[in-house]
Structure 1
Amino acid sequence: MSIKKVYLIRHGQTDYNLQSIVQGSGVNSSLNETGWNQAKLFYQKYKDIPFDKVYTSTLQRSIQSVQGFLDLGLPHEQHAGLNEIHWGTREGSRMTPEEDKYYYDILQTWRNGNCDVCIEGGESPELVAARQKPVIDLILSRPEEETILICMHGRAMRVFLCNLLHYPLRCMDQFEHLNLCLYQLDYTGSMFTVKKYCDVSHLVEEAPDSVL
């Protein structure tokens, strides 16, 4: 059986990211100038990979981050199952430990293994994992798509990686993320292996060749 190659990225930077404001699935923010540049740099690095399909969430920051590939005419599917976690009443709020102790306490609750606990007005990691599973099953049911690009969101990506690698959800914070970072995974038909972990080497712009 051929190996399915999965390129999993987080969306590029938004002004909300820059200001430490929680976005979640209810805030449909756009990339800022830095985010668009990150998307351009990722495209330049990976534009020659023969992707069979591009998968994104339904949120525009996810779609904008792969716009270069969509402009090539690659098949594209949006799935709400890939949307960011719903942060409930915290969406649109700036988060620091001083300003919202509850937010940080709920993260610790999840790290302690209580991943069925929903944040106030929002979702739990278990609910996110459950809505992701049909999308994962769909992707794995398509052997003809040997190389795919998936763009999603920070917390949702952590849950997604737990789903793929069969980690307990309490371990999701082991999967670091940065704007437009890449996780590259291979699927052999029975298990996933990680080839690149939170890689951002593509975001380093190469200096132009000197002219003598």
Structure 2
Amino acid sequence: MKSKTIFLIRHGETDYNRRGVVQGSGVDADLNDMGRAQAAAFFQAYQHVAFDKIYISALKRTFQTVESFIGLGLPYEKYEGLNEISWGVMEGKVPNNFDNEYYRDLIERWNAGETSLTTDGGESPEQVRDRQKVVIDLILSRPDEETILVAMHGRAMRILLSWLMNLPLANMDQFEHSNLCLYKLRYDYETQQFSIDLNNDSTHLLTLAIA
């Protein structure tokens, strides 16, 4: 039975993450020292895995997260379809009380099923899903790539995992994430179904806590 294993990770920490500032797809931030340490810890834990290909978003924080794997000579491809959701006019802003109210209202409406609702000047979850599908269809059309590593972003991961698991996008917030967390997925080509083997796993980062 042919299957594909996908190691799906969120990028390491940036200073924007640390300050609670929304990046979205419009802020192309570098990893900070903690983010680089997280990337190194993930590489230390998973460098033995025989990845056939790496897929990343077009934002450099995903490239920097998997740069050590690329340094081993592993092939990689970059797609804007894996970018974070566009938060529009809110990107790069330090949230104030009004902004927090805006986000709370927006996410409540998404959770209520209004997933066609766009951010102010940005994207809707449905628009993100549609551009993700193009990349996932490409990935699934390559069955010889049995084990792949995909690096992307928090909200985009919530959206991706929802539709991969055949759930409404309104359920996306059930998929928790943290910087450099891992979801390990398996795709069965016979049933054309995904399953989740590891969920928001960060045990590879325990060495950072000890240090």
TM-score higher than 0.5 here? yes
Tell me the matched-pair count. 208
Which whole-Å deviations, capped at 9, do the CAs of 1:10-29 have from their partners, x for residues lacking one?
Answer: 00000000000000000000
Asked whether the equivalents of residues 97 and 104 of structure 1 are also in contact (C-alpha less than 8 Å), the reply is: no
User: Equivalents in 2 of 1:19, 1:123: separation in Å?
Assistant: 23
TM-score normalized by the length of structure 1: 0.95
Which whole-Å deviations, capped at 9, do the CAs of 1:60-82 have from their partners, x for residues lacking one?
Answer: 00110001100001010000000
The DSSP-based 3-state class of the residue aligned with 2:62 is helix
User: Equivalents in 2 of 1:47, 1:2: separation in Å?
Assistant: 24
For 1:90, the equivalent position in structure 2 comes to 90
The DSSP-based 3-state class of the residue aligned with 2:207 is coil
User: Equivalents in 2 of 1:74, 1:22: separation in Å?
Assistant: 31
Asked whether the equivalents of residues 117 and 124 of structure 2 are also in contact (C-alpha less than 8 Å), the reply is: yes
Structure 1 unmatched runs, 5+ = none
Give the partner amino acid of 2:116: D
Q: How does 1:50-199 map to 2 (within 5 A)?
A: 50-95=50-95, 97=97, 99-189=99-189, 190-199=192-201
Identity %: 51
Which whole-Å deviations, capped at 9, do the CAs of 1:100-145 have from their partners, x for residues lacking one?
Answer: 3112210111000000000110000000000000101000000000
User: Equivalents in 2 of 1:61, 1:168: separation in Å?
Assistant: 28
Tell me whether 1:11 sits opposite 2:5 in the alignment. no
Normalized per residue, the structure richer in helix is 2
Structure 2 unmatched runs, 5+ = none
TM-score normalized by the length of structure 2: 0.95
Which whole-Å deviations, capped at 9, do the CAs of 1:160-191 have from their partners, x for residues lacking one?
Answer: 11121111000000000000000001111111
Which whole-Å deviations, capped at 9, do the CAs of 1:88-110 have from their partners, x for residues lacking one?
Answer: 01000123555431122101110
Tell me whether 1:20 sits opposite 2:15 in the alignment. no
| Segment drifting more, 29-38 vs 198-207 | 198-207
- Structure 1 runs (4+) deviating above 4 angstroms are 96-99
Q: State the shift of 1:87 in Å.
A: 0.2
